[in-house]
Amino acid sequence: MIAVVDYDAGNLHSVLKAAQAAGLAAAVTEEPADLEAADAVILPGVGSFPACMDRLRERGFVEPLRRYLAADRPFLGICLGLQLLFERSDEGPGADGLGILPGRVARIVAPGLKVPQIGWNALRLLRPAALFEGIADGEYFYFVHSFHAIPERAEDLVAVVEHGQAVTAAVSRGRIHAVQFHPEKSSAAGLRLLRNFGRLVAGA
């Protein structure tokens, strides 16, 4: 079972429907204890970084997520679910994240362009990654965000898009994967990525 974390801060039902359409045995959970028994975890998220971290704390998910991620178990973060993996965000004072990946989250700098970035953008793959198997460099995915992660470790960065600057689009370390875009809103390419994640889970 793939646990989709419900903490009142995600595009939850669209993510669940897309995961199921891609053939994943996914179910929503509000119980932190379910993470231990799950084969994989999907962490969606929309809104502000500090508010989402507050909700994770209120629901008791922070320490179970940290233990799960520290064990290098299969994980997919979506949108804010990517940003929360990092140590901190500039979005608010004291906005500390899960601290799994070194780096911070900063506002996109895009002179002459709209921020938030809303809409389709072409992915630039920086290295091969199993999550993107069969997805061509330059494939379009759907984004909605004003902030992006800045990893300290270059090897954690998998893909970027251009929006006034190189904007982090995907990160990966071990079995931990995360994307800034919304695969559930990205048509066939998004479903392909979710199927790839399912295969990674099956092989874990």
Residue 10 CB partners (closer than 8 Å, separation 6+) = 4, 43, 44, 45, 46, 78, 80, 81
Of 148, 163, 177, 182, which residue is the catalytic one? 182
DSSP code at position 131: G
* Distance of alpha carbon 53 from alpha carbon 204, whole angstroms: 28
Q: Helices (DSSP H) in the chain: which residue ranges?
A: 12-21, 34-37, 49-58, 62-70, 80-83, 187-203
Q: With CA atoms as reference, report the closest residue to 135 among 174, 168, 101, 170.
A: 170
Q: Is 79 a catalytic residue?
A: yes
Q: Is 182 a catalytic residue?
A: yes
Q: Is 184 a catalytic residue?
A: yes
DSSP code at position 194: H
Of 13, 31, 79, 177, which residue is the catalytic one? 79
Of 52, 139, 148, 184, which residue is the catalytic one? 184
Place of tokens 């929006």: 163
- The upper half-sphere exposure of residue 167, i.e. CA atoms within 13 Å in the direction of its Cβ, equals 29
Give me the active site residues, please: 79, 182, 184
